Structure 1
């Protein structure tokens, strides 16, 4: 990048990609030659020109259904430089693709040549043009061409600029219809910059991406922040705890980012991979997208001998909002750190005042990385924004040093006869029991109290514990009304597509009521 356009001033992905040295590695993958920044910039120019020839331009939504890997990473950044990317989970069924392709008003669907995805038949039925991504498995990681039929003339050709929409993603829709979150070029670039600063990323850094690339965490925290620092991203074909340590040896990353369930799976195999850990050049480990139990943070730091940086992110913020700082500043287990980009504050329930430090309320944010609003949804925007602040839906508290503790999702708080219980508080106590590997607390229906406390538990390998034993263990640490009425033992806790544990709807899924 030239001195006239430092990364701090980059407000488009094309500008951001200009920082890397021509000969430096941008994208890598197992058993593939690496793609340099010069190659990536050529790929961007060729991709935008091809899209324009196919009648696709800036702010046209392009749905992308590709497996995890280098082509998904490069397709995201290259297509985003000339259109609006809409990555979709390849694991969706036809009915889900039908909803998303219709809701997005997609101008095209990008799939790998030879793909058997049900999205193809859905797109054909809807009249959405199919664009095939073609690549050479022996060629540089992430290099591809696009092939398809022209759908006319692009209304807005050329390279995308600051106010063009780079990325649209849907909210999870756990309790309501999924909402479309449009993120402009300047939003995603601001978030990538915030992550680069928080982690001290430089061109010498190399990220091992194991996150799915249809989710904001992998797209921005792993891919875009690495490229915005002039560093490299090594793209795994998805997360596999059995292969993780082999990838450490091949990729030689300086950091990786993941959700807590992935970290726990890695820890489960760490003991038998001591040599790979000792040989690893890791500088830090990052965790985000769900609360990291303090026990897991301690175990990771003891195992890998590097700092674990817990961060706080969400789609509407183009990912990062807060982050624990790097040493020598303190990391506070159980917190998500300090504001790391946008302003972070705590608002009262009525939305009428910002609360002082030490008081619990709703976490609100504002800044360059935050979406301007949901697409075509005035009701959600009226509820989601107050006096310029975006209301996250998370309950939290700021301490005297400005560190933020998330006490729970407001929708996930358990209301037991008027007593409000934070599921996370119960999780952390359960996980202190030596036989417990994972725990997830949630509400279950109760005919008199409205809601009662329940939990699912995964025991450590070879561990033993009875339900009453765990209830007694919690009762010694927490008030009686917080003690789970039911504890269910499972081999694995149900997770969403991105690896996040699912509290909402779990009682119904397990057929529980009190």
Structure 2
């Protein structure tokens, strides 16, 4: 079949849904494997329009922010797309975040309504009582729907939605420790989806498996927006399951999937009911798998391809770029292990400290420009001006080299972010949590290489003289403050931490000291 034109089919998410509801109303858009429910494009349009009527009854209008703290499910997807369809702004909450961050995001995002699964309601209510305004909390079943406190209005939110309208407010870790709210417009989101579609040569016949959480930019822009803009379809289970993964792929005729290296590692060690040659044959409809959010070790990359017979395409993106900026080309075109690929739908360059473009194979900061690049950081003009140049170039904060064929190799970070299992973690967040413990006088968190997660969090502390505090006590303290993902794997006790002239902990020297002590 002739590849699609890699131009968004319309200029807003609402217009895309309306167009495909008219052109291919009976074609399946999404399958929910746990319930065997499905939505075709016509049903999708009717569903998001019905949600828009409820939004209007709640007093919502275009530009209002709606938050979600839910696992994946039919209602989760419907509410996410209905928010965009209505011209409102979606601001997902990560259930794995600590209580402090949930409170901060709810306050900073100006959220009006929060849809929450029953198991997360207490977390949201604890956060809501700290706010200066009242928000509406609606308990929601991820498959059966929301417990609406109102009846739907006769009409949904009618304001026109155009490309420049904000659609998504995603919070990502920054070097200051406070998460920054990335503002993505309809144009940004559609461009992110089209960049994925172009890189992976997607057509309406392709179907993806979405096992990453909908509070993650990868799920939103890669496995939701890419099928939506290319007229394809997806399978959306509640969460990743290593035992069910291949069953979903085979049963629902999945042609591609997007995962992170951690999931690839899990799959390498658990084949499910089928194995060996039988599994390879059953997977013959799968064109490729996509890996992103963290560097994929070449040995894991090659081992997976050999074991399952499925090519893995390594890619790279940021929340600030609507998920994708680089990808290896589709097989049989050349791929390079250890590289996230070449630019698709974007312009890239590598610059030195003076802003000059570096020649091939010379290290510098990776810059990107294109329709996928964010509008800015919400209520943070200083951070926006630091990240975005006046001509639209975005500072990624990644050190990289670009070879003569255009392939990028990431060599490090200008910023101190730790990337664990695809999640950005600012060391400062860990430090601040530990400093709030009455026995801690110095704290320094670092990222160390980890075969499973890409990086793991390690923290080092100095405690008050004569204080009695155990590693377990501090780990439990961090868990309460930070949540599971950001809690350090281990905490080590030091008499003093290496610091520079300004008193700032020098994390590179701290890593060296950990190596000397044979801790890492």
- Say whether the fold is shared (TM-score over 0.5): yes
1:156, 1:205 → 2: CA distance? 32
Q: 1:24 pairs with 24, 27, 39, which one?
A: 27
2:264, 2:365 → 1: CA distance? 28
Residue of structure 2 in register with 1:217 after alignment: 218
The answer to whether the 8 Å contact 1:205/1:253 transfers is: yes
Spell out the pairing of 1:229-248 with structure 2 (5 A cutoff). 229-248=230-249
1:507, distance to aligned residue in structure 2 (A) = 9.1
Describe the shift of the 1:335–1:501 C-alpha distance in structure 2 as closer, same or farther (beyond 3 A): farther
Residue of structure 2 in register with 1:91 after alignment: 96
Spell out the pairing of 1:22-421 with structure 2 (5 A cutoff). 22-30=25-33, 31-82=35-86, 83-112=88-117, 116-123=121-128, 126=131, 127-133=134-140, 137=144, 144=145, 147-149=148-150, 157-173=158-174, 176-270=177-271, 273-274=274-275, 275-280=278-283, 281-350=285-354, 352-388=355-391, 389-412=393-416
1:294, distance to aligned residue in structure 2 (A) = 1.1
2:282, 2:398 → 1: CA distance? 39
The answer to whether the 8 Å contact 1:395/1:409 transfers is: yes
What secondary structure does 1:319 align onto? coil
So what's the TM-score if we normalise by structure 1?
0.75
2:141, 2:263 → 1: CA distance? 31
Q: Which stretch shifts more, 405-414 or 245-254?
A: 405-414
So what's the TM-score if we normalise by structure 2?
0.75
1:54, distance to aligned residue in structure 2 (A) = 1.4
What secondary structure does 1:182 align onto? strand
What secondary structure does 2:20 align onto? coil
1:354, distance to aligned residue in structure 2 (A) = 1.9
2:282, 2:156 → 1: CA distance? 52
2:363, 2:25 → 1: CA distance? 49
Describe the shift of the 1:19–1:63 C-alpha distance in structure 2 as closer, same or farther (beyond 3 A): same
Q: Which stretch shifts more, 384-393 or 36-45?
A: 384-393
2:344, 2:102 → 1: CA distance? 35
Describe the shift of the 1:511–1:336 C-alpha distance in structure 2 as closer, same or farther (beyond 3 A): farther
1:97, distance to aligned residue in structure 2 (A) = 2.2
The answer to whether the 8 Å contact 1:62/1:106 transfers is: yes
1:454, 1:9 → 2: CA distance? 42
Deviations 1:176-215 (A, max 9, x none): 2111101001100011111111111112111111101101
What secondary structure does 1:147 align onto? coil
Describe the shift of the 1:339–1:39 C-alpha distance in structure 2 as closer, same or farther (beyond 3 A): same
2:395, 2:312 → 1: CA distance? 27
Describe the shift of the 1:164–1:218 C-alpha distance in structure 2 as closer, same or farther (beyond 3 A): same
The answer to whether the 8 Å contact 1:188/1:220 transfers is: yes
What secondary structure does 2:268 align onto? helix
Structure with more relative contact order (C-alpha pairs < 8 Å, separation 6 or more): 2
1:303, 1:124 → 2: CA distance? 52
The answer to whether the 8 Å contact 1:335/1:406 transfers is: yes
1:37, distance to aligned residue in structure 2 (A) = 0.9
What secondary structure does 1:386 align onto? coil
What secondary structure does 1:19 align onto? helix
The answer to whether the 8 Å contact 2:342/2:407 transfers is: yes
Unaligned runs of 5+ in 2: 421-426, 428-443, 453-477, 495-509, 514-520
1:376, distance to aligned residue in structure 2 (A) = 1.6
1:458, 1:359 → 2: CA distance? 28
Describe the shift of the 1:155–1:164 C-alpha distance in structure 2 as closer, same or farther (beyond 3 A): farther
Deviations 1:22-60 (A, max 9, x none): 111111112322111111011121122221221112211
2:118, 2:208 → 1: CA distance? 28
2:279, 2:361 → 1: CA distance? 43
Residue of structure 2 in register with 1:429 after alignment: none
The answer to whether the 8 Å contact 1:169/1:180 transfers is: yes
Q: Which stretch shifts more, 257-266 or 229-238?
A: 229-238
- Tell me the number of residue pairs that the alignment of Structure 1 and Structure 2 aligns: 431
Describe the shift of the 1:146–1:38 C-alpha distance in structure 2 as closer, same or farther (beyond 3 A): farther
Describe the shift of the 1:316–1:71 C-alpha distance in structure 2 as closer, same or farther (beyond 3 A): same
What secondary structure does 1:202 align onto? coil
1:113, 1:187 → 2: CA distance? 32
Q: Which stretch shifts more, 203-212 or 157-166?
A: 157-166
1:374, distance to aligned residue in structure 2 (A) = 1.0
Q: Which stretch shifts more, 108-117 or 81-90?
A: 108-117
The answer to whether the 8 Å contact 1:129/1:149 transfers is: no
Describe the shift of the 1:339–1:243 C-alpha distance in structure 2 as closer, same or farther (beyond 3 A): same
What secondary structure does 1:241 align onto? coil
1:396, 1:227 → 2: CA distance? 32
The answer to whether the 8 Å contact 1:94/1:118 transfers is: yes
What secondary structure does 1:407 align onto? strand
